[in-house]
Amino acid sequence: MTLSPQEQALVQAARAARAHAYAPYSNYSVGAAVLTSDGRIFTGCNVENASYGLTVCAERVAVFSAVAAGAREVVTVAVCTPDGATPCGACRQVLAEFVPDLSACPVLVVKPDAFVARYTLAELLPHHFGR
């Protein structure tokens, strides 16, 4: 799969963010990066907590960082996991809140050393709850 230079930068940002994950309980480090409609990249990593329900996924950290900086539209997502897993359901729903066209938003799934797959958010969340 050939990635555009912008997608390559997003994947690299997700891989770099994974290095900052705080995952002492699961040992499952995740990094994510989102590209916003104004061309900015925001990253996130998973942050675990001894009270497991308080753990926050990398994708949501990236989206919340974008929103905190004033961005409201996500156009591309990259996620880096040890085994090439896709975003969880909660992250898919949070992404849907800030993606104007789910069928046009690529979700790039990678491992630390390999590209895994490209999906659209619509493929990953075909029946989202929304406005």
End-to-end CA distance of the chain, in Å?
34
Q: Decide: 58 and 48 in contact? Cβ < 8 Å.
A: no
Q: Could you say which of 7, 48, 59, 73 is catalytic?
A: 59
Residues 6+ apart with CB under 8 A from 126: none
Active site residue 59: yes
Phi, then psi, of 22 in degrees rounded to 5: -110, 95
Per-residue burial over 77-110, b if 16 or more Cβ lie within 10 Å, else e, is: bbbbbeeeebbeeebbebbbebbeebeebbbbbb
**Active centre residues (catalytic):** 59
